[in-house]
Amino acid sequence: MGRNLKLENLTKRFGKLTAVDHVDLEIEEGEFICFLGPSGCGKTTVLRMITGFETVTEGYIVFDNKVINDLMPKKREFGIVFQSYALFPNMTVEENIAFGLKMRRMPKKAIAERVDVMLDLIGLSDWRSLYPAQLSGGQQQRVALVRALAPDPQVLLLDEPLSALDAKIRLRLRAEIKRLQQELKKTMIHVTHDQEEALSIADRVVVMEGGQFRQVGRPIDIYKNPICNFVADFVGTSNFFQGRRTGDNVDIGKRKIKVMQNGAGADESVSLSIRPENVEVFKKGAPPGVTEPMNLVSGKIDVVVFQGAAVRLLINMDNEEIISDIIEKDFEQRSLKQGDEVYLYFPPEAFLVFPDGEGRK
């Protein structure tokens, strides 16, 4: 077993407010973990407890089999990258990167070599003697990244490092962080509210809400098999229905819909969710051949949003809005347009069924 980081029963209360509520997690050495959740869900608080800037109310943080709850931040030797970059404005790029090395009393020559390696890593060697204010946001954050990496920290913690950057730079830097992580095999913990960022970058994603971990898993599992309404809603987009279940059928008010997923008992109130890309849309006319005619429903296209490779349709079905994403080619082929009367088809196997009372709805 490597130098794993374990959160055990970790809790943080600010007065009466419980920001982090008894969470458990084991992070393996070299793993890239992403905490994902809306603002106020407690993800930053978890990160700050790991860094040591926030005290632990209850539970333990264990690193390399030692409880580090009360260890000073500087003794933890964890690197941190901040949302605001937090470069030292009074020092050059080079001096910023060398700072942590000087603090560790490395010999001058070794520092110079290490700084060179770090600058090469981010391709900013020509900028070494500039001050942070002379760099763009993306460049500053890259410097901040290697400044944190320079002393070879045990774990690198990234607190929404990309959210202050504009969209294009964000994508570039996201790829760069991923590359660095794979090259250096460093344990990284990344906090974000951007689900796309979390899914694309992490080995495992921790979805948080209300101070609790709702789901921990690989990005694909989080997306395909969300275990509750909240995750299904927060990660990606979903259509939701409320209803009562009888065997394979769910009664959603006016109509019955067939579902495949098991798990919920009979005559239990449930909620259904289905991803927009799984909702098929056909022009009205001859009913298309589908495996489950029961799940074929009429509707009318209210809004068409062109999104590049896909087209998002907002469809009125019994005065409820259903979102469907169909690929652009199909959209053309079926010559759909706004105001069209259409058939919606919900494949039974595409539904996720959650017992009610779990999650948000």
Partner 1 sequence: MKDSAPPGKLSSTLLSSENIFTGVIMALLLAILALFLLYPVVDICRLSFFKDGVFTIQNYVDYFSNPRIFRSFYNSMFVSAVTMVITTVLAFFFAYGLTRTTMPAKGLFFTISTLPLIAPTIIQALALILLFGRNGLITRYLLGTDWNIYGATGIIVGEILYCFPNALFILYTTLSAVDTRLDEAAQSLGASSLKTFWKVTLPAAKYGIASAAALTFNLTITDFGIPVVIGGNYSVLATEIVSQVFGLQRFDLGATIGVILLIPSITAFMINYYLTRKSYAMISGQARPFLPPSRPLKKWAFTIYSVLISACILLVFVTVFFGSFVRTWPYDFSLTLAHFDFPSLGASVPLWTAFWHSVLAPGPLRDMIAIKYAPIWTSLLVSLVVAIVGASVTLVAAYIIEKKKPRGEQLLYSLSVLPAAIPGVVLGLGYVLAFNKPYFFIYGTVWIIIINVIIANFTLGILSGTANMKQIDKSVEEAAVSLGAGPVTTFIRIIFPLSKVAFLSTATFFFMRGMTTISAVLFLVSAKIKLAAIEIIFLDVDGRTASANAMCTVVVLVVVLFLVIMRLVTGRSGLTGMSAAK
106 lies in the site for partner 1, by CB under 8 A: no
179 counts as binding partner 1 under rule CB under 8 A: no
Tokens, residue 300: 């009318």
3-state helix/strand/coil string of 180-220? HHHHHCCEEEEEECCHHHHHHHCCEEEEEECCEEEEEECHH
Nearer to partner 1, 74 or 172 (CB): 74
Q: What is the closest distance, in whole angstroms, from the C-beta atom of residue 75 to partner 1 in the complex?
A: 8
Segment contacting partner 1 (CB under 8 A): 36-44, 72-80, 186-194, 350-358? 72-80
The CA distance from 5 to 154, in Å, is: 10
* Cα 276 to Cα 265: distance, rounded to the nearest angstrom: 26
Count, residues near partner 1 per rule CB under 8 A: 45
Quick check: 132 binds partner 1 (CB under 8 A)? yes
Is 56 within 8 Å of 12 (Cβ atoms)? yes
Inter-axis angle of helices 93-103 and 108-122, nearest 10: 130
CA distance 44 to 57: 15
Per CB under 8 A, does 166 bind partner 1? no
Minimum CB separation from partner 1 for residue 173, in Å? Answer: 18
> For residue 324, what are the β-bridge partners?
313
Specify the residue, 134 or 291, whose C-beta has the smaller distance to partner 1. 134
Nearer to partner 1, 95 or 277 (CB): 95
Binding to partner 1 (CB under 8 A): which residues in 5-34? 6, 8-9, 22, 24
Phi-psi domain of 94 (left: phi exceeds 0; alpha: psi -120 through 50; beta: other): alpha
To the nearest whole angstrom, how small is the minimum distance from the Cβ of residue 285 to partner 1?
57
Contact code string over 73-92 relative to partner 1, x by CB under 8 A: xxxxxxxx-xxxxxxxxx--
**Residue 265 in tokens:** 């008992």
Q: Which is nearer to partner 1, 69 or 163 (CB)?
A: 69
Q: Which of 39, 65, 262, 307 binds partner 1 (CB under 8 A)?
A: 65
Query: At closest approach, how far in Å is the CB of 60 from partner 1?
Result: 6
Strand 187-192 and strand 155-159: pairing? parallel
Q: Is 266 among the residues that bind partner 1 (CB under 8 A)?
A: no
Q: Tell me the residue type at 117.
A: V
Q: Is 151 in the site for partner 1 (CB under 8 A)?
A: yes
Residue placing its CB nearer to partner 1 in the complex, 6 or 361: 6
C-alpha distances in Å from residue 284, one per residue of 297, 300, 316, 317, 345: 10, 10, 14, 14, 12
Helix 137-149 with 93-103: angle, nearest 10 deg:
20
Does the footprint of partner 1 cover residue 35 (CB under 8 A)?
no
Rule CB under 8 A: say whether 104 interacts with partner 1. Answer: yes
Burial class of 66 by CB neighbour count within 10 A (0 to 12, 13 to 18, 19+): exposed
Q: How far apart, in Å, are the Cα atoms of 117 and each of 48, 111, 113?
A: 29, 10, 6
Smallest CA-to-CA distance from 299 within 330, 336, 332 is with 336
Question: One symbol per residue from 186 to 225: x for binding partner 1 (CB under 8 A), - otherwise; what is it?
Answer: ----------------------------------------
Q: Which is nearer to partner 1, 140 or 273 (CB)?
A: 140
Q: Establish if 53 lies at the interface with partner 1 (CB under 8 A).
A: yes
Give the footprint of partner 1 on this chain (CB under 8 A): 6, 8-9, 22, 24, 51, 53, 60, 62, 65-80, 82-90, 99-100, 103-104, 131-133, 144, 147-148, 151
